[in-house]
Structure 1
């Protein structure tokens, strides 16, 4: 893992590890985060693109197409790609948390929401 890749991954991991049940893992040979053995964030091989689950990817892509995008591979998958070189901290946190919520079991979601209030 090169220094830039490590830098971006640490940002993602710091956000993800605040969420209950998160485990650092790998997917397709790259760093990933899972909850209940389900992938919710994966660093691409280029080290500067993150794949997350999103129910609102069209909105994000229209908002900032240089930051949020998909490739043909993701046309039929509810995932969004994020350019980690250009994304803001608050948006990254929101998207990682939302991806976790999509994949986490209801019991973990409930305990997280209760502890956040």
Structure 2
């Protein structure tokens, strides 16, 4: 089972990430855009995720993934039970959520991806 400490360690290593406490919830954001948010009891992690893929993810693994809270349905968002994932899966979730909110060049530079420019 992963913990808040695991989430924090992975997220804080990503460029432009800031941690904030908002209404008793730990959130990670880039600028004003939140890409991770822990539930108040720190057992569920909400994360940025393509809205058009959300239903398929939740349907494929309903014991692991949850739809967003009703107030968050309009956003690119889904939730995962921390007890249901391991650290490699958490890392993938966090990095992919972060990639949704940073400029492509920032993600590419941080992840060591070769830039593909046409000359």
TM-score under structure 1 length normalisation: 0.80
Match of 1:41 in 2: 36
Q: What are the ranges of 5 or more consecutive residues in structure 1 without an aligned counterpart? A: 1-6
Please state how far the C-alpha of 1:115 moved relative to its aligned partner.
6.7
The 1:111–1:36 alpha-carbon spacing in structure 2 relative to 1, beyond 3 Å, is farther
Match of 1:57 in 2: 54
Higher helix share: 1
Q: Is the 8 A contact 1:36 1:105 kept in 2?
A: no
Q: What are the ranges of 5 or more consecutive residues in structure 2 without an aligned counterpart? A: 115-119
> How far, CA to CA, are the matches of 2:58 and 2:37 in structure 1?
18
Please state how far the C-alpha of 1:93 moved relative to its aligned partner.
1.2
Which segment drifts farther, 9-18 or 106-115?
106-115
The 1:31–1:96 alpha-carbon spacing in structure 2 relative to 1, beyond 3 Å, is same
What SS does the aligned partner of 1:77 have?
coil
Aligned residues: 110
Matches within 5 A, 1:20-31: 20-31=15-26
* Structure whose alpha-carbon radius of gyration is higher: 2
Which segment drifts farther, 88-97 or 56-65?
56-65
- Aligned alpha-carbon RMSD (Å): 2.1
